[in-house]
Amino acid sequence: MPASPPPEHPSLTARLRSLWPAAHAIDAREKLRASVGAALGILLVAALAALWLQGAIAMQPGLLAMAIIAPIGASAVLVFAVPSSPLAQPWSVVGGNTIAALVGIACAKWIPDATLAAALAVSLAIAAMLATRCLHPPGGAAALLMVVTGCDRFEYALNPVMLDSLLLVLAGVIYNNLTRRPWPHVQQVKSDSSASRFSDADLDAALTHYNQVLDVSRDDLHALLERAEASAYQRKMGEIRCADVMSTTPIVARQEMSLREAWALMRRHRIKALPVIDRQRHLMGIVTVADFMKQIDLDAHDGVSWHLRALLRQARSKQPASIVGEIMTRKVRVASADRLLTDLVPVFSENGHRHVPIIDEQRHLVGIITQSDLIKALYTAVRV
């Protein structure tokens, strides 16, 4: 039996190339937005901090360190370049820098050996930030700065460290929201979606198994995974449009049609919805079994069928709610014939829709797609 060839090892060039960082998936406009934001943020912090010190350093650039600390520059990178990061939120900025500075001052004051003090300052600062849920990378620099400068005054953690952090947060709130980057980044509470192949519990289990700090919020990660899943659906389904799947000769009703006729039409064709059109085939609404059910008293003890027959008798006697136009749903979720079929997946699965009328640019009814049509198309695409 011939021996299997030895595994090929990547060349030195390939190894070096693998170390080259991947390009950031942002455009030039976003890069400019982040850079300008950092400049304006630091300018605001320096100007207001100097004003707080009553202009004592206005003509003495060498004393700028009295008003602004270097780690604020690193904080600005997070606040303006990655505003959705959990490490860049207001509590992380203010709490992380301030708590880390307090730890660093304590180490500088009570540990005689500067080398040991520096190591413990960063280590204990990380532990403190994790314990208080304000992990912030510049906090490590703030703790180390307190040791290397020999700072032993705890009030320094309040001014300038906390003051600078608060001013930077103020700048971040104003600039990020003005440039359409909502900040602070609020965690969205989402219910389990039947449209997704994974649930919130699945995501939590994966994060627990990963057991590392991720520089992305949980809801952003959930949204990215759902977007990737939707892209996978679209890739498998190719360019299938609504026009490729829809029923082109839907059974329809008119507003003046009696409820009795509409109900008979639905029973004859075994369908649960009728698009309602006018004489020019403009879509005016849709009438479904649910619309009929809304007209009867489901809490009564006579039974649904009895009340439904009574409703149809009203239609014969021209009593109120006797025609389709009076019970139909006028606000209808529609789609165009050239729309991608994958766009309708959340419409059916999350919003409770069972039928989506297809219209043209003039709002003429050209077809209808049901849940069955969608499922059949998905099944066919997955099998290919």
Per-residue pLDDT at 51: 77
Cα 101 to Cα 96: distance, rounded to the nearest angstrom:
8
Question: Using CB atoms within 10 A of its CB, is residue 59 exposed (0-12), middle (13-18) or buried (19+)?
Answer: exposed
> Do 337 and 366 form a contact (C-beta atoms < 8 A)?
yes
Tokens found for residue 256: 């003046």
Q: What is the distance between the alpha carbons of residues 164 and 42, in angstroms, rounded to a whole number?
A: 9
Residue 299 is predicted with a pLDDT of 45
H or E element that contains 359: strand 355-359
Mean pLDDT for each 10-residue chunk of the chain (384 residues)? Answer: 61 74 78 95 87 58 70 96 91 97 97 96 97 96 95 91 95 95 74 57 73 67 75 70 90 91 90 92 92 63 50 52 85 90 81 86 93 84 64
Nearest to 286 by CA among 362, 353, 340, 344: 353
The number of angstroms, rounded, from the C-alpha of 74 to the middle of its chain's C-alpha atoms is 26
CA 60 vs CA 24, 65, 123: distances in Å: 39, 10, 35
| Contact between residue 144 and residue 118 where contact means Cβ atoms under 8 Å apart | yes
| Predicted pLDDT of residue 65 | 62
Q: pTM above the 0.75 mark?
A: no
Q: What is the pLDDT of residue 111?
A: 95
Amino acid at 34: A
Closest CA to 245 of 352, 371, 349: 371
Position 20 scores a pLDDT of 74
Count of C-beta atoms within a 10 Å radius of residue 308: 17
First and final C-alpha spacing in the chain: 39
C-alpha–C-alpha distance, residues 81 and 88, integer Å: 9
Single-letter amino acid, residue 285: G
336 SS3 class: strand
Record the tokens describing residue 24, joined without a space: 């950031």
- Domains along the chain with CATH numbers: 24-178 (no CATH), 243-383 (3.10.580.10)
Closest by Cα among 103, 86, 93 to 164: 93
Q: What single string gives the DSSP state of each residue in 231-300? A: HHHHHHHTT-BHHHHSBSS---EETTSBHHHHHHHHHHHT-SEEEEE-TT-BEEEEEEHHHHHHTS-TTS
What is residue 322's predicted lDDT score, i.e. its pLDDT?
77
